[in-house]
Amino acid sequence: MLENFTPVRHKQLKYEGRIIGITKIKKIFTHIMNCDWQYRIECPDRNIRIAPEEDLEILPSEDRKSLFFLLQPFEEEMPESESFLMKLGYRITGKSQTERLNALINEAIPRHGVDAVVEILLSFMLARAGDEETYWNCLYGWNRDVNYLMERYAKDNAQLQARLKRMKKILRNNGYDWKDV
């Protein structure tokens, strides 16, 4: 299994990006369906692409330089998956917003910072934006949690505000309309 943030190129489609996790949502898999998961790849335009490992090649070191400035995580140790937040007590199903926010505010943010936490929540949203019918509860919960964190911690963080503005547009282009709740 390739590690998160590994720079890759799609062998046939030639797009480049970095691994940001996996998805088990077969509805969004590409042509190869006989697997349990496929990689989520974040491209420099911040769109998320899905591909199986056999369609990807790791970028040689000389080709990585052009991508590095676009593909740096906010934190050196950015949370890598939903399971990271789950270990800290964060999950949508079975938790109230108060319980979720307590896990974020008291566990995740002190360890990784608000930028990294908002970034990982946005990546969860982007991975599921094309299937709002199935994931409406998760999308709405993440949307509310990001809004709260932005209001509480990032009012004056111009970089994160600009990132959120871009992500709202990308989410809209991927089928999810942001809610100011």
φ/ψ of 16, rounded to 5, equals: -120, 155
Percent of the chain with pLDDT over 70: 86
152 occurs within a structural domain? yes
Q: How much is the mean pLDDT over the chain?
A: 81
Strands (E) across the chain are located at 7-10, 16-23, 38-42, 48-51, 56-58
Does one domain contain both 169 and 93?
yes
Instruction: Name the pLDDT band for 64 (thresholds 50, 70, 90).
Output: low
Q: Are residue 89 and residue 164 in the same domain, yes or no?
A: yes
Q: Torsion angle of alpha carbons 53, 1, 120, 130, nearest 10°? A: 30
Residues 44 and 96 in one domain: no
88 and 166 assigned to the same domain:
yes
Q: What is the pLDDT of residue 167?
A: 87
- Out of 11, 36, 55, a domain closes at 55
pLDDT tens per residue, range 73-92? 433 333 444 457 888 889 89
In a domain, 63, yes or no: no
Distance CA 36, CA 124 (A): 18
pLDDT value of residue 104: 94
Evaluate whether 133 touches 10 at the Cβ level (below 8 Å).
no
**Rounded mean pLDDT, 41-46:** 77
- Angle at CA of residue 107, ends 140 and 21, nearest 5°: 60
Residue 65 in domain: no
Q: What is the DSSP code (8-state) at residue 131?
A: G
In-domain check, residue 179 = no
Range of the domain at 9: 1-55
Please check whether residue 2 lies inside any domain of the structure.
yes
Count of structural domains, the chain: 2
**Based on the domain organization, do 167 and 92 belong to the same domain?**
yes
In a domain, 74, yes or no: no
pLDDT band per the 50, 70, 90 thresholds, residue 37: confident
Query: Against a cut of 0.95, is the pTM above it?
Result: no
H/E stretch holding 75 reads: none
Q: Do 44 and 86 have their domain in common?
A: no
In this structure, of 61-65, 90-94, 98-102, 111-115, the range with the lowest mean pLDDT score is 61-65
**Residue 129 CB partners (closer than 8 Å, separation 6+):** 139, 171, 174, 175, 176
- Among 18, 40, 55, residue at a domain's last position: 55
Same domain, 32 and 90: no
